[in-house]
Structure 1
Amino acid sequence: MREKIFLVLANLFWAGNYLFGKYVVAEIGPLWLTFIRWIVAFLFLLPISYFLERPRYGEIMKQFWLPLSITGILGIIGYNLLLYGALEYTSPMNAAIVNALNPAIIVILSYFLLKERMAFVNVIGFIISLAGVLFILTNGHLQWIFQTSYNHGDLMMLLAGVVWALYSIIGKKLAVPPITATTCSVFYSILLLFPFLFLQPFPLAELSGKEWIGISYICLFPSVFSFLFWNLSVKKVGPSYAGIYLNLIAVFTAMITFLLGGKISASQLIGGAFVLIGVYLATNVRKTEASLAKDTSV
């Protein structure tokens, strides 16, 4: 029961990242928001990883510096810059729905890069979820698929999904405990981001109290608490079961948007439904088959 609550809270906090991110990024930009988010998160992740996983940081960072740097560039720098950059152009609802395509993208890329098995139903699921995203990109007019202009934010979120999939695939093969791996990746990312901060001044005097609240939320809840709750839950219930809860991000984003008085269009509802159904088929069936194969071998 506790693990289910943790999974719900983790995805609720991640949903809040889209809503607060949309508000905050307009004032400080994607670069500074990414840097502040992860340097604060690092201060929390370092002691958490030490007490929960007891790693030998020196040996890990010496032996795995290259893959940890690559995962940092992809998952910490690349994904977050694309996410917050996308929120400058598109709505949190659109971003969350397009982001829901990520598990399906991971399945497809795992098939090509890792040669993992993929059933016909998985392909159908990916096509359905992609159709849902296209429905959103074209605002419900699929005949506009070949138009020359799309919302830049939605396209950036699609690219963010590919970046996240590559990050996940590399991380899957990394023989480092998950919280420690993220902590080290964040460390390398901070070092790589720091020189670029001089290209963009930080608008300290222009930030209001509400914006500092938004920054504090992003630094703590989706960056530290969500990750901690997620890893504690995955350790108990497994990634297959926990992965189903990722669909709650789009659901929570829609609920919060509605409660705050925002509007949800018909194309978002219909496209979002297609994405969630497609992702379920693209991922869940694959896991079920793997599970059956394991039972048969026993």
Structure 2
Amino acid sequence: MTQRLTPATAGLLVIPPLLWAGNAVTGRLVHDLISPSTLNFIRWMLAFGLLLPLAHGVLRRDSGLWPHWRRYAVLGLLGIGLYNALQYLALQTSTPINVTLVGSSMPVFMLVVGALFFGAAVTRRQLLGALLSVCGVLLVLSRGDWSQLMAFRLVPGDIFMLLATLSWAFYSWLLSRTAEPASIRTDWAAFLMAQMVFGLAWSGGFAGAEWASGRAHIEWGWPLAAALVFIAVGPAVLAYRCWGIGVGRAGPAVAGFFVNLTPLFAGVMSAAFLGETPRLFHAAAFALIVGGIIVSSRR
């Protein structure tokens, strides 16, 4: 059941978008240095190593993980194997601003997935908030020219990011359904480690397919090493921790709107590190997205 959105919960839900914006900008910065699925796999290998001292007990034979392995295999596929790989793939052909703004369709996916597959009720305010967010996303897809929507041609990066957003919506709803023993659910490191066990297998399989296809590449150096450390510590471990708590307190539908803060942070970081100055339609799209957050979360 969704609880009231308190300042503390809102603060928790702001941290992941900030770190995920940094993840998008970093992915764009290193896209010439490493292929997307390989980047995702190495990222989660490093995160696995960071969590191992805190949650190694999850790997024991008598751990509560194994009776629920199917649940964690699905969570690992959606939240670790697919979402991040698709986002890095999107950044091969699109900018962090566009990728994060397309990802702002999250509220719509959250509401639709919740209503169709999890029996969640949808309020009028949530529908209005979703509509505002959709208008913001369409403004980005049209590049500020509404006449372009008549042709409706998405670039590859847009399509990959829409698929990533759908994956994350299912992940978030499954995350809110308690099915594991308290020994894992109440320990954030153990809960994330349980997902990583299978998420690494999925991402490793995708990376292997990437190398087998001949499309993989990697150029080692300090820039890539620094990028890997950041995305392993921040967007992986810290962001997932804060997101898990925030979803548990506010519910997936309300939490989904906070993901739409990512474009604001991505725009600021892109201007600072990539020289990609946001355009007027980016600001208008963000205003619509924030309006969706405010409308949907009000009681």
Same fold (TM over 0.5): yes
What's 1:208 paired with?
A: 221
Q: Summarize deviations over 1:52-80 as a string: whole Å, max 9, x none.
A: xx897744222111111111111111111
Instruction: Tell me which residue corresponds to 1:292.
Output: none
Residue pairs, 1:70-89, within 5 angstroms: 70-89=74-93
Counterparts in 2 of 1:32 and 1:134: CA distance versus 1, 3 Å: same
With over 3 angstroms needed to count, the CA separation of the structure-2 counterparts of 1:263 and 1:175, relative to structure 1, is same
- Quick check: 1:101–1:279 contact (8 Å CA) kept in 2? no
Q: 1:195 to 1:102 in 2, by over 3 A?
A: closer
Structure 1 range deviating more: 259-268 or 75-84: 259-268
Match of 1:155 in 2: 159
Distance 1:18-1:131 versus aligned 2 partners, 3 A rule = same
Do residues 27 (structure 1) and 51 (structure 2) align?
no
Mapped to 2, the partners of 1:65 and 1:74 lie a distance apart of 14
Mapped to 1, the partners of 2:61 and 2:106 lie a distance apart of: 30
1:13-58 CA distance string (max 9 Å, x none): 222101001122332111101100111111223333469xx89774
Aligned equivalent of 2:290: 276
Most deviating of 106-115 and 95-104: 95-104
- In structure 1, which of residues 86, 92, 102 is the aligned counterpart of residue 96 of structure 2? 92
SS at match of 2:144: coil
Distance 1:232 1:192, change over 3 A: closer
Q: Which residue of 2 aligns with 1:18?
A: 24
Alignment partners' CA distance in 2, 1:166 and 1:233: 16
Per the alignment, do residues 203 and 162 of structure 1 end up closer, same or farther by CA in structure 2, a change over 3 Å counting? closer
Opposite residue 87 of structure 1, the aligned amino acid is: L
- Residue 112 (str. 1) matches residue 116 (str. 2): yes
1:1-298 map, 5 Å:
8-49=14-55, 58-147=62-151, 149-176=153-180, 177=185, 178-199=188-209, 200=211, 203-204=217-218, 206-231=219-244, 238-239=249-250, 243=255, 246-260=259-273, 261-281=275-295, 283-285=296-298, 288=299
Sequence identity percentage = 24
Matched position secondary structure for 2:276:
coil
Distance in 1 separating the partners of 2:43 and 2:280: 33
Provide, for residues 110-150 of structure 1, a one-character-per-residue CA deviation record: whole Å limited to 9, x for no partner: 12222211122322221221121111011112222231522
Deviation at 1:278, TM superposition (A): 2.2
- Give the match's secondary structure for 1:185: helix
Which protein has the bigger helix share?
A: 1
Q: Is the 8 A contact 1:67 1:174 kept in 2?
A: no
CA distance in 2: counterparts of 1:41 and 1:165, whole angstroms: 22
Count of matched residue positions in the alignment of Structure 1 and Structure 2: 280
TM-score (norm 1): 0.81
Pick closer, same or farther for the CA change 1:56–1:92 going to 2, 3 Å.
same
Distance 1:233 1:148, change over 3 A: closer
Point out the more displaced range, 178-187 or 208-217. Answer: 178-187
Match of 1:295 in 2: none
| Aligned-residue CA RMSD (Å) | 3.0
Residue 102 and residue 69 in structure 1: after superposition, are their counterparts in 2 closer, same or farther (change >3 A)? same
1:85, CA displacement in angstroms? 0.6
8 Å Cα contact 1:55-1:180 kept in structure 2: no
CA deviation after TM superposition for structure 1 residue 106, in Å: 1.0
On the 8 A contact 2:78/2:167 being kept in 1, the answer is yes
| Larger mean Cα displacement after TM superposition, 181-190 or 6-15 | 6-15
Q: Could you list the runs of 5+ residues in structure 1 that have no partner in the other structure?
A: 289-298
How much does 1:180 deviate?
2.7
